[in-house]
Structure 1
Amino acid sequence: MPSDGDGAEDTVPSMLWGLDPLHGVFAKLYIKDILQLDNSQHVPGVFFYKTHPISKVDILGTIVQKREREKLFSFGVDDGTGVISCVLWKKRRPMEGPKPVASPTIGLNLQEQLSRITMLEQHTSQLELGDTVQVRGWLRDYRDQREISCTSLSKVADPVFTAQISRMLQLPHLYRTFYDQTFQLTTDSTEPNDQRVRILSLQRKIKQFLNQNGVKNFYQQELETINSLAFIAQQDPVSPCVQHPPQPSQEPLTSACASRQIHEGFQVAVGALQEEGVVFQKVAGPKELYLVTDEDKELRSLTLGVIRDDSRRPKYVDKGCPFLHILSCVQHGYSAGVNEATMQRVLDRLESDSQIVSTMERYYMAS
């Protein structure tokens, strides 16, 4: 395998990989290139195409191999450049017990939901050799073999090969415009690289602090009082505010300047976390309360309720509820401060907890 991955890791620190747009998306690559991606030496689950860190991929190909095991389906998918194994884990079923009785007040029929999951699994198991499928999932190496752990695998009903032709035209453009271009950090004269690194470090530390302490909500001013975080937010000694040795009479001015630097650093870092969907606000404003997305049970419960109710409507009973419909319902019923990144984070959490399933790209129904 080529050694571009090692060079990329040496050139770009791992905390800056998120600046590369390819790191957070399902990269559409040829299977031949996926099989040749370099492993990250420091971060498991991250691979490199030239200088780009990649963890998720999107492929379109033909099933040339199929196996079913106790806990998973395994499909060999061929796109004409190579064959890769795609693993789809079966949903866990609860232990057998007394048949649940539907509650007229709740309106939830567990037997019906279990039957729906069974039908989805049967549909997946009915994929046959020669079927064209679109696969999205996380890359991993298992027993020295590269494979895709599927988040979605769907059959493409395309008798005139429209999807294949579209992918054939799209991939060369993506390679030429994005993948083959070197990932470089742009330097802005008004925001030096060391300041950008400091903000990214602060952003990462805030996420760690929220996660480790189980913080459900906070005001930005509260974070600014935490010394370990405030120290990162402070600019270096050569910044314009403190580049000259302070005189005794200037001490209050220096202190005010440092406080302003800390406040501005937190403002940028928390804003980035908001765009990432880690935190959100019911009421917008720098002095308003921030809520931690992963800890907001009310938001998760409301989202699940929308999917459960609306996936029964004739309009959505086959495919499930589309992402934008769910987002619109949550914004009207809970808060307009819930953006797409926040909504996607909630949906991913519900899916990982097996409370919903994605029937196709950005369509969901209750499990």
Structure 2
Amino acid sequence: MDFGASVIMQSEGESAEDIPPSILWGLDPIHSAFVKLYIKDILELKKFQPIPGMFFYKTHPITKVDILGTIVQRREREKLFNFGVDDGTGVISCLWWKKQRTMENVKLASPSCGLNLLEQLGRINQLEKNNFQLQLGAVVQVRGCLRVYRDQREIKCISISKVVDPVFNAQISRMLELPYLYRNFYDKTCQIQMDSPESNPQGAQSLSLQQKIKQFLNQNRVKNFYQQELEAVDSLVCIIQQSLASLCQQQHLPDTSQDPPSSTSVSKKIHQAFQDAVCALQVEGIIFQKKAGYSELFLVTDEEEELHSVTLGIVRDDSTRPKYVDKGCPFHHILSCVRHSYSEGVSEAAMQRVLDRLECNSEIVSTMDQHYTAS
């Protein structure tokens, strides 16, 4: 059961051009914080369609939120608690997954130590259970990740704190804090100093190297590669050498770009540049790894036929199930099934790229926001 208002999509007065480039999101301090917002504004955040779980308040990217309110609805399921929190401006659904703590395999290290581990573990379990007896009317502070499920905004909780405050100090403090945060941070555009390529050759080098790697992979129809193999491609290495030479000129340093490739300093800089570019391509979903690690194989998403086949099979099979026959399979369900059947290393960005490609080929159809069915 979901609580709160339905998702409010991007307003007509705001355009996609207002959103800064994704490469700059990490420079906004709000992006990595648990953002304290009114629930009304959480329900009205602009949704960034290409990336599930990414939202915007004006020009600020937001993935995590912090709310304080009263529990007005509550339901306990087998694996989770589902409760609605009201802060006076709106109601939003919050999910808290139950933690399973097993005691069958706990054994005493030494019976003479005077500590019964099973008893202590039982007390901890009881304390945790008591802590989550969240009844209607209880005031709680919730931190978690924002997501959309069945067209409803909800918070997947990371932490829940029950507020015992007879004189309402916590609520009053939040009421005073929020206007200050909105006025001084949220309603202001984050001022990011944009360096030109001439003043920031390393930034230009990184973008140029990413584009060249994309072209190299596409032109040669590369299906998989190791990073060391890219570092042996002369046309790609030349980009880094030119950047190093330009940087040395600006800083009036000796030109080391023409040093032998075996030079320790040059090889380290080349390796780091390729590592940064490869990481950026992973974030975009261009490439992915079945197993994480520098020495592991990288797979090119567009060329990985098995991944496309597995994804298409999941959509075809599951979209006929009664629970998905009307709206189609949700994105996170498909991602979970692919990770289980194919590889845990498939990122959300890579999965989205595969689904977009299947839709372009008319093999699947997006029935609604982040839902897919077989064509």
Q: Name 1:255's counterpart in structure 2.
A: 258
- Cα distance between partner residues in 2 of 1:111 and 1:180: 52
Quick check: 1:17 aligned with 2:25? yes
* Deviation for aligned residue 1:138: 0.6
Partner of 1:255: helix, strand, or coil? coil
Q: Name 1:159's counterpart in structure 2.
A: 166
Q: Map residues 133-152 of structure 1 onto 2, 5 A cutoff.
A: 133-152=140-159
- Provide the alpha-carbon RMSD of the alignment: 4.3
Partner of 1:101: helix, strand, or coil? coil
Quick check: 1:176 aligned with 2:166? no
Q: Map residues 181-330 of structure 1 onto 2, 5 A cutoff.
A: 181-188=188-195, 192=199, 195-196=202-203, 198=205, 226-227=231-232, 236=243, 239=246, 241=248, 254-256=257-259
- Cα distance between partner residues in 2 of 1:188 and 1:164: 43
Conserved in 2, the CA contact under 8 Å of 1:23 and 1:55? Answer: yes
- Cα distance between partner residues in 2 of 1:109 and 1:255: 68
* Deviation for aligned residue 1:39: 1.7
Q: Name 1:6's counterpart in structure 2.
A: 16
Partner of 1:64: helix, strand, or coil? strand
- Cα distance between partner residues in 2 of 1:112 and 1:6: 57
Conserved in 1, the CA contact under 8 Å of 2:34 and 2:64? Answer: yes
Q: Map residues 11-50 of structure 1 onto 2, 5 A cutoff.
A: 11-12=20-21, 14-50=22-58
Q: Name 2:109's counterpart in structure 1.
A: 103
- Cα distance between partner residues in 1 of 2:273 and 2:244: 20
Provide TM-score, normalisation by structure 1: 0.54
Conserved in 2, the CA contact under 8 Å of 1:64 and 1:130? Answer: yes
Q: Cα 1:176–1:202, aligned 2, differ >3 Å: closer, same or farther?
A: farther
Quick check: 1:54 aligned with 2:62? yes
Conserved in 1, the CA contact under 8 Å of 2:106 and 2:118? Answer: yes
- The AA in structure 2 aligned to 1:74 is N
Q: Cα 1:5–1:103, aligned 2, differ >3 Å: closer, same or farther?
A: farther
Q: Cα 1:43–1:241, aligned 2, differ >3 Å: closer, same or farther?
A: same
For structure 2, the residue ranges without an aligned partner over 5 or more in a row are 1-8, 211-226, 277-291, 294-375
After superposition, what is the alpha-carbon deviation per residue over 1:234-271, rounded to whole angstroms, capped at 9, x for unaligned? Answer: 5549936579xxxxxxx986514998788668789999
Conserved in 2, the CA contact under 8 Å of 1:7 and 1:51? Answer: no
* Deviation for aligned residue 1:2: 3.0
Q: Cα 1:193–1:84, aligned 2, differ >3 Å: closer, same or farther?
A: farther
- Cα distance between partner residues in 1 of 2:27 and 2:159: 26
Q: Cα 1:237–1:76, aligned 2, differ >3 Å: closer, same or farther?
A: same
Conserved in 2, the CA contact under 8 Å of 1:74 and 1:85? Answer: yes
Conserved in 2, the CA contact under 8 Å of 1:90 and 1:121? Answer: no
- Cα distance between partner residues in 1 of 2:24 and 2:84: 34
- The AA in structure 1 aligned to 2:55 is F
Q: Cα 1:255–1:54, aligned 2, differ >3 Å: closer, same or farther?
A: same
- Between the aligned residues of both structures, percent identity stands at 56
Conserved in 1, the CA contact under 8 Å of 2:201 and 2:246? Answer: no
Quick check: 1:66 aligned with 2:74? yes
* Deviation for aligned residue 1:176: 1.2
Partner of 2:30: helix, strand, or coil? helix
After superposition, what is the alpha-carbon deviation per residue over 1:49-70, rounded to whole angstroms, capped at 9, x for unaligned? Answer: 1111111001111111111000
Higher gyration radius (CA): 2
After superposition, what is the alpha-carbon deviation per residue over 1:59-99, rounded to whole angstroms, capped at 9, x for unaligned? Answer: 111111111000001111011110001110001244x85x7
Q: Cα 1:179–1:199, aligned 2, differ >3 Å: closer, same or farther?
A: farther
After superposition, what is the alpha-carbon deviation per residue over 1:115-158, rounded to whole angstroms, capped at 9, x for unaligned? Answer: 24532442244221111110000111111110001111111111
For structure 1, the residue ranges without an aligned partner over 5 or more in a row are 204-221, 244-250, 272-293, 296-367
